[in-house]
A and B are shown apart, each in its own frame.
Chain A
């Protein structure tokens, strides 16, 4: 029985498909990354995020990842921009996609202040693109060396991307199955009215029922869209919904390039015919410059992979997707309200679920003399870092350790670091967040439950 299933899956994943969808994905990904990198640099974020701050909130286990200084950071972004262009063109592809993946992930790992699920997704797509021969058709590489050309690839090379997108949407949908989202329409009830100035739809934004409509529609969309895109008969409607949904979120919320990236990436769900037609359009355009093959008929060339490589790939992808399936559920291992403690919150496709605001007064205290030093956070952190830190316990812990070492540098050794902090979550009103008697400098960073986070109390509890 298991054997049959395994064989069936194996056939399904290895059936020969035209390479076109992979090529379109490569080109759109490269192009969108190129634009995104330029936008990031133009907004001055390289300096604001990675050069100016004196302290960075590293990810647990990745504190060896440091910003590279002004020259180094700009060089890294220049490298990413060039790599994106080369990915798009299919030129030194393997080198480009590997260096893009490594440098992009490196930058994301410098400081969790800037963590976005969008960036995580981009790292993942880049990772998967390293494993497939997306450059071996309609590319500069093939134009230079026609023997590289492939027309067909095993279908897993395309399926892995579809599977990844289905996971993203579905987990995003699952995370909306909360009473905050469905029964209180939070945080949309807070966020939608901020758009009351928009023409035409503005006046509607203040209406409470609209927040419910959006919440429920969002939940249903996320849960079902992956499957609707997989199904040939619903695909066109589904893609239309994808466009509407992402454009709406793009208008209502400050989410940068993400909506446009998703709209283009989800083209992968369309049939190979569609992608072949797209490429033909591109080909006709470029053939005017006589650089590309003008023939409309092509002899099939199949992708040959060494059996050992197949084994390695199967293992890598198997482990990868198992992790993808498991990581979003790790929050179940922690007690308490997820939105409050945020233990197991990141890397789980939880987007737009919380309106969280906080404030934190840190005290560095000499326990012997009782002398207390209140910290002015802006002396050490950027406004963005401070804002993210005040609502996320793991960052507060890192900051406490940093403060301890900073004050030790001034000759104030062996100080206790405590924090008096207040957080409001989805309109709950501000309430105490961290146990103010705990010396955070003595607490260890790690994956265990942070016992010093006070339990979330609703108004009913008080």
Chain B
């Protein structure tokens, strides 16, 4: 009797000893000290140093474009057309720094869909101009507006600038076309102004909501942010490269489906897009290197095949960017004449998607869906 009692009492003790033994063994192996990390600080860095400045820059570019169009419309000539075209390119480049932030105010305003649904439906645009009737706010009409719409109107309606200019001066629809140009530009200006205001402390103060939502489930700031961060990379892979390369169509190429087909700046846009995603990953704005996913992964000690996951991701960003930069301009021509080069960029971006969507998310325990779970 007595001895069985003693044994029973010893069970928990045995467990406790085994337990501490295991922890002791573990700690010896651990050689990387955990860096201090605060998710709130990362969110503040993203919000204050990346998201709001990106929106501010894009808004300025959109205002410039809008006033350039207003000046052009008063008295269209070749110089002013060129100025509008350059302002447009500036704005499109600035947009690339904003496209990853499609949550909160941007999501509510359908910002990305409104501003950058490509390819534009040129038939619908031309019909709209001829008839003078169109509803730019309808969800069904996302493909007749935004930056892709302007890309067509400023570069795609004639084989050179003098032909394009003629469409705004002497063409039968010239008046309607000038109005359409203004309407598209105004739509962009209003959308970005509203979204920016929703973020600013002086407006909707979403920055405050964003920074003070420190959980990791999907409704949390980090969940929303990460989801859209990866989604933006998938759009780059599937829509900016994959579809034109015939990935979804059994090898039938669609070079005219690239982003900014008419102005031919697809590669510059894609490169800025990818470089922005890299900066977001690093938490790095133009001036300083704040807290980003890199610090988070270092803090967690995340591994990839026995080495640092952060190093693997950083290396893959560099490879993907250099492969993208290696593609000759314009992208639409390279897709037809030199397919292997954009194919290589596509492959490297795919590898990056794998690292971010599986390794990074899994290391951070980020849930990307809203449902209950029991971890299986």
Contacts and interface: CB of A to CB of B under 8 A. Distances in A.
B175 interface: no
A174 interface: no
By secondary structure, the A interface counts as mixed
B126 to A, nearest CB: 29
Interface size range of chain A in the complex: 35 or more
Given A196-B39, A197-B214, A352-B374, A423 B369 contact: no
A429 B22 contact: no
Contact of A350 (B216, B238, B247, B376): B376
Given A372-B251, A373-B248, A429-B304, A253 B375 contact: yes
A255 B367 CA distance: 12
A191 B365 contact: yes
Given A372-B250, A376-B238, A387 B354 contact: no
Contacts of B374: 116-118, 255, 258, 351-352
A459 B306 contact: yes
A426 to B, nearest CB: 9
Nearest to B306: A459
B243 to A, nearest CB: 9
Contacts of A102: none
B355 interface: yes
A260 to B, nearest CB: 12
A32 interface: no
Given A430-B354, A430-B355, A371 B376 contact: no
Nearest to B307: A429
Interface stretch (B98-106, B117-125, B356-364): B356-364
A366 interface: yes
B215 interface: yes
B27 to A, nearest CB: 8
Given A424-B358, A424-B359, A193 B15 contact: no
A183 B22 contact: yes
A212 B22 contact: yes
Contacts of A359: 353-354, 357-358
A371 B365 contact: no
A331 to B, nearest CB: 13
A117 B305 CA distance: 32
A456 to B, nearest CB: 14
A358 B362 CA distance: 9
Contacts of B303: 427, 429
A358 B34 contact: no
B26 interface: yes
B371 interface: yes
A216 B368 CA distance: 28
A193 B350 CA distance: 29
Contacts of B359: 357, 424, 429-430
B131 interface: no
Nearest to B217: A254
A12 to B, nearest CB: 25
B354 A384 contact: no
Given A357-B359, A429-B303, 7 more contacts: A116-B373, A191-B375, A197-B214, A212-B19, A253-B375, A359-B357, A373-B248
